[in-house]
Amino acid sequence: MRYRDHPTVEVAERISCDAATAWALVTDIGLPARCSNELQSVEWLDGADRVAVGARFRGRNRHDAMGEWETVCEVVEVEDGRRWVWNVRGPMGISGTWGFEVEPAREGVIVRQWARMGPDRSGLSLAIDAKPDLEGRIIARRLAEWSENMRANLVCVRELAETSSAAP
């Protein structure tokens, strides 16, 4: 596995709710900060208050091995009610692209979250530079961490959606 190949990870969860409920939850940029062990806080920038192409937000992160950092993200694609995608911009350019998708299913919806590394360098690149012979292992470990946090996000979405749909 090589960083230059833009490794990608995706997780999915079937949720017993309607698409509108799932969409409202996955477009709440603060929700992952309540579920993730890495993302600490998120705030809209430049007067933005919702997911829309061009809207920007700041994320603050903390990781035991990498310390604390923040990034500015920009929404680059929105298919209302179905999909939204954002680029993560770090000091070296676009360090990753992330997205949420909501797909109606026979019983509820399937919600997906995915992320792709690159195309530009990121903090992970420094670890790869230091130990290039371990690049594949470094990337695999980081993708596993992303996957773990995405699963936590989707569990939160499921629990909130199913709780709200059970309310009178």
From first to last of its 168 residues, the chain has per-residue pLDDT tens of 999 999 999 999 999 999 999 999 999 999 999 998 999 999 999 999 999 999 999 999 999 888 898 999 999 999 999 999 999 998 889 999 999 999 999 889 999 999 999 999 998 899 999 999 999 999 999 999 999 999 999 999 999 998 876 544
Amino acid residing at 74 = E
Question: What pLDDT is recorded for position 92?
Answer: 85
Q: Which residue has the tokens 């995608």?
A: 85
Question: What pLDDT is recorded for position 165?
Answer: 60
Q: What are the structure tokens assigned to 78, written together?
A: 């929105």
Q: Contact 3/129 with Cβ under 8 angstroms?
A: no
DSSP state of 149: H
Q: pTM of the predicted model, to two decimals? A: 0.93
Q: What are the structure tokens assigned to 25, written together?
A: 């939850």
Domain spans of the chain? Answer: 3-166
Query: Any idea how long the chain is?
Result: 168
Which listed CATH number (3.40.50.720, 3.40.50.620, 3.30.530.20, 3.40.50.920) goes with 3-166?
3.30.530.20
- Which helix (H) or strand (E) segment holds residue 142: the answer is helix 135-166
Nearest to 18 by CA among 105, 85, 113, 112: 105
Nearest to 89 by CA among 100, 99, 97, 81: 97
**E strands in the chain:** 8-15, 39-45, 56-63, 67-79, 83-90, 93-105, 108-117
Q: Contact 110/98 with Cβ under 8 angstroms?
A: no
Q: What are the structure tokens assigned to 92, written together?
A: 């070296």
DSSP, collapsed to helix, strand or coil, labels residue 34 as helix
